Amino acid sequence: MSTTLEADTFDDLLHSVFDRLIADGQRIVPTRGPALEETAVLLRLTDPLARLSRSARRSTVVSALGELCWYLHGSDDVAHVAYYVPQYRREAIDGQLLGAYGPRLFGSGGSGQLNRVIEILKRRPDSRQAVVQLFDADDLSRAKDVPCTCTLQFLLREGRLELIVHMRSNDAFLGLPHDLFAFTMFQELVARSVGAKLGAYSHFVGSLHLYDEHRAAVDAYRDEGWFAQSTAAMPPMPAGDPWAAVEVLLDAEQRIRLTPAEEYEAEGLADGYWGDLAKVLAAFRLRRRPERLPAIAASLANQFYGIYVTDRIHAGGAAL
């Protein structure tokens, strides 16, 4: 039997995912630990801008944004992504992640699949061939770091860009918030690149599961209750081709990550949408120098990100 769960915001969707898994999930015992599982689940987010949890406990903005930058860099270097998501270290072989999405998405010299998808949609807006393939036939010969995402299909219909993602396996607590963030950001990047509005986001999962080890954290998240829908949507990306601004963000991200925290001064960050994303990463870098954070919060173009900057003052900064 298959299940469809639809919501306008990520928190609403996540609550129904956890409700469903806890009420109806089947017990499985894979090598990564016992879990509750539901198979063939379609998750639909009607507003892909509402891609971030506004909760205190599932607010993964830094790790999700950091992982997105790692994808956009086209990198397979574990040291880069482990700065944001330390769990990746378990998957690496000699410092490299063989299943990394970045090289598969962006290749080198503009040869990547995402670029080709944009070209296809510009030439043939009704195309059904704008598909990025992440899971590869060669992945069947490895047990470690096998991509969980199979395909991303972009469909341009009535001026709106829909994205349909197929995942073979998705960890509802750690993986899902990151995957949904990154993929809806790709959706918006492609939409801006072809001059389209955002359509719905559909996320189809073969095995959606909740590990027993995350159950206490999930219960705490569920106890936090519900969040105001009116404040759930991220600001929209500015109109026009986004890729020059992405390069500026990637340069800033690299500088922030590689400068020792005690020497980092958060200077020269851009203003506006892309600058705000860099400022969230800068606040994470400066989490142990909390006296620097109010100035960063005050310089944000959009106070949507204010909670993610000022939370660092209280949390001391766990990424996940």
Positions touching ligand 5HM (CB under 6 A) are 30, 32, 99, 146-149, 169-171, 175, 179
For ligand 5HM, the closer of residues 67 and 253 by Cβ is 67
The answer to whether residues 182 and 71 touch, using CB atoms and an 8 Å cutoff, is yes
The number of CA neighbours under 13 Å toward the Cβ of 22 is 13
CB of residue 257 vs ligand 5HM: minimum separation in angstroms? 21
> How far apart, in whole angstroms, are the C-alpha atoms of residue 89 and residue 46?
34
Give least dist CB 147 to ligand 5HM, A. 5
Q: Which is nearer to ligand 5HM, 57 or 142 (CB)?
A: 142
Measured CA to CA, the distance from residue 154 to residue 132 in angstroms comes to: 8
Bridge partner residues of 27 (DSSP): 36
Shortest reach from residue 232's CB to ligand 5HM, in Å: 22
Decide whether 30 or 110 has the Cβ nearer to ligand 5HM.
Answer: 30
C-beta of 157: minimal distance to ligand 5HM in Å?
26
Q: How far apart are CA 197 and CA 161, in angstroms?
A: 6
Closest distance to ligand 5HM from the beta carbon of 158 (Å)? 30
* Residue 78 near residue 97, CB atoms below 8 Å: yes
What's the min distance (Å) between Cβ of 111 and ligand 5HM?
22
Please, which residue, 146 or 320, has the CB nearer to ligand 5HM? 146
Nearer to ligand 5HM, 175 or 199 (CB): 175
CB of 170 to ligand 5HM, least distance (A): 4
Give least dist CB 292 to ligand 5HM, A: 33
Question: 175-194 and 61-73 are packed helices; what angle lies between their axes, rounded to 10 degrees?
Answer: 50
Spatial separation of the C-alpha atoms in residues 152 and 186, rounded to whole Å? 10
- Closest CB to ligand 5HM belongs to which residue? 175
Report which of 51, 56, 24, 55 is spatially closest to residue 39, judged by C-alpha positions.
24
The residue (of 93 and 298) whose beta carbon lies closer to ligand 5HM is 93
CB-hemisphere CA count at 13 Å for 53? 27
**What are the residue ranges of helices labelled H in the chain?**
10-24, 61-73, 78-82, 101-106, 113-123, 175-194, 215-223, 243-258, 273-285, 293-298, 306-315
Q: The tokens of 318 are what?
A: 């766990």
